[in-house]
Amino acid sequence: MRLEVRHRTLYRFDPAMRAVVQSLRLTPSLFDGQQTIDWAVKVEGAERGAAFRDGAGDWVETTSILGPVSEIAVEVEGVVETVDLTGVLKGHRERVPPLAYLAPTRATRPDAALIELARGAVAEVAETEALERAHALTYAVRDAIAYTPGETEHATTAAEALALGHGVCQDHAHAMIAAAHVLGIPARYVTGYLHAGGEASEASHAWAELYVDDLGWVGFDASNGVCPDEHYIRLGSGVDAVDAAPIRGVAKGQGAEALDVEVSVTQAQQ
The DSSP string of 209-269 is: EEEETTTEEEEEBTTTTB---TTEEEEEEESSHHHH-SEEEEEES-SEEEEEEEEEEEEPP
> Which of 3.10.620.30, 3.20.20.20, 1.10.8.60, 3.30.559.10 is the CATH number of 84-244?
3.10.620.30
Every domain of the chain and the residues it spans: 2-81+247-267, 84-244
pLDDT > 60? residue 198: no
13-24: burial string, b at 16+ Cβ within 10 Å, e else = beeebeebbbbb
What is d(CA 158, CA 105) in angstroms, rounded to the nearest whole number?
10
Among the four given CATH numbers 1.10.150.120, 3.40.50.10470, 2.60.40.2250, 2.40.50.140, the one describing domain 2-81+247-267: 2.60.40.2250
pLDDT of residue 49: 94
User: What does the pLDDT look like over 95-118, one tens digit per residue?
Assistant: 999 999 999 999 999 999 999 999
At 86 the three-state DSSP class reads coil
Report which secondary-structure segment, H or E, holds 113. Answer: helix 112-121
pLDDT at residue 268 in the model: 86
Contacts of 42 (CB under 8 A, 6+ apart): 74, 75, 76, 77
Query: Model confidence over 29-53: pLDDT tens digits?
Result: 999 999 999 999 999 999 999 999 9
- Number of C-beta neighbours around residue 164 at 10 A: 15
Q: What is the pLDDT of residues 214-232, one digit of tens each?
A: 999 999 999 999 999 999 9
